[in-house]
Amino acid sequence: MSPVKIGIIGGGLMGREMASAFARWCALTDVSVRPVLTAVADLNPATLSWFDCIPSCTQKTTDYKALLANPDVDVVYVAVPHNLHEQLYCDVLAAGKDLFAEKPFGIDLASARRIHAAAKASGRFVRCSSEMPFFPGAQRAFELAKSGSIGRILEVVSGFHHSSDLDPTKAANWKRLNSMCGEGGALNDLGMHACHIPLRLGWKPSRVFAQLQKGYPQRPDGKGGVTNCDTWDNALLNTWIKVGGHDVPMRLEMKRLMPGATNTWYIEILGTDGGVRYSTSDTKALWLFERGKEQFWKRTDLGFSTPFKTVTGGIFEPGFADVIQQMWAAYLMERAGLLNGRFGCATPDEAVATHEIFAAALQSQAQGTVVSL
């Protein structure tokens, strides 16, 4: 396999997850590129110390610019608060590195557009992180919708839910602050998850009516006091898309206050001749609708049928760590020109499109009206 040297800026939760995906790269059997973690930058020395267990990671620094100056770094993955996206992403590109960006690709629409322009001008390979579509059930739903076999599309629902913010004693972090997360709040935090597959199918909303909701106005600050929380926590977007010349309702849901949900991604696509429903709350289960004299929803158990083949037996079920690895395989293989029709990571165009949806949603919420994109 051809090695690709990776640098990570932001060694926290997702930085460690990515490094773990690289460490088990031998599980993949049909890729011709191999990530090698070479460098990591984080402001916290204690965070950097975790990477001592990775022999190839020879640079650990609190100065991200030192990482960008490292000639042994080909690709940089950046996982930092949204208010830092634009500066760091543009610095990565200016340093001549390829970029794997975290969602939402800037704190707001204007920022996303500037990052997009910088990426285009640089000529570097840029994609945005979005792992949930790499679950086998998500792939089946995408392929079924793309095939046209379910007939005229009648309705689409796509969303991402979790419930940890139901706990009022949970300490606030940067995602609860507009100044760091962005005015979009849950839209910025979770929106790419809900939008990736619809946008890949060409289903960009033409009209949006938003219902946004805030949770607890204050939370513990983790230092013995309290802090104000001003982000939107739940978002319900009722939109219209155009499919086959027909207007189709599509509902996008992004909720940080959803009782019972634990990072649940789901999609449902209904048509005149069939339908499909998939949720990560039941990872192996794919539901298919059949129309006949009698109508049926039938359930099938999916195995380990990921886009990039692995040593894992087909009878087993994939998890979050597996789809993170699949996403990286898609990024690196597309970068090498070897994606060969398989599902790819979110593009800069798609990332900007999500922000266009979010901006319309914020306008809709403020005005209480339907907003056209």
**CATH (domain of 141):** 3.30.360.10
Q: Which residue has the tokens 């796509």?
A: 158
Residue 341 placed within a domain: no
117/137 same-domain check = no
Position 280 pLDDT exceeds 90: yes
CA atoms of 337 and 79, how far apart (whole Å):
25
Q: Is the pTM of this model over 0.95?
A: yes
Last residue of a domain, one of 128, 162, 197: 128
Buried b (16+ CB within 10 A) or exposed e, 206-225: eebbbebeebbeebeeeeee
122/139 same-domain check = no
| Alpha-carbon separation of residue 231 from 20, 171, 256 (angstroms) | 31, 14, 11
**CATH (domain of 112):** 3.40.50.720
Q: Which residues contact 368 (CB under 8 A, 6 or more apart)?
A: none
> What are the φ/ψ torsions at residue 83 (nearest 5 degrees)?
-70, -15
123/137 same-domain check = no
pLDDT digits (tens, 9 = 90+) for 338-362: 999 999 999 999 999 999 999 999 9
45/118 same-domain check = yes
222/76 same-domain check = no
Residue 263 placed within a domain: yes
Secondary structure (DSSP) of 201-247: TT---SEEEEEEE---SEEE-SSSSEEE--S--EEEEEEEEEETTEE
pLDDT > 90 in the chain, percent: 99
State the pLDDT confidence band at 1, using cuts at 50, 70 and 90.
confident
Number of CB atoms found within 10 A of residue 366's CB: 11
Last residue of a domain, one of 109, 128, 147: 128
The answer to whether the beta carbons of residues 105 and 356 sit under 8 Å apart is no
Considering only CA atoms, which of 16, 24, 19, 23 is closest in space to residue 311?
Answer: 24
CA atoms of 21 and 306, how far apart (whole Å):
15
Q: Strand pairing partners for 180?
A: none
- Side by side, which strands form the sheet with 274-279? 296-301, 285-290, 274-279, 264-271, 153-161, 246-255, 234-243, 207-213, 371-372
Residue 333 placed within a domain: no
Residue 327 placed within a domain: no
Last residue of a domain, one of 128, 163, 188: 128
Q: Which residue has the tokens 């909720």?
A: 255
State the pLDDT confidence band at 223, using cuts at 50, 70 and 90.
very high
Q: What is the mean pLDDT of residues 286-315?
A: 95
261/174 same-domain check = yes
The tokens describing 348, both together, are 């800069």
Number of domains in the chain: 2
Q: Can you give the residue range of the structural domain that contains 119?
A: 2-128
pLDDT, residue 314, reads: 92
221/169 same-domain check = yes
pLDDT, residue 164, reads: 83
109/147 same-domain check = no
39/148 same-domain check = no
The two counts, helices (H) then strands (E), for the chain are 10, 17
Residue 328 placed within a domain: no
pLDDT, residue 106, reads: 98
168/101 same-domain check = no
Average pLDDT, the chain: 97
86/65 same-domain check = yes
What is the crossing angle of helices 85-94 and 109-122, to 10°?
Answer: 0
pLDDT digits (tens, 9 = 90+) for 134-189: 999 999 999 999 999 999 999 999 999 999 889 999 999 999 999 999 999 999 99
209/304 same-domain check = yes
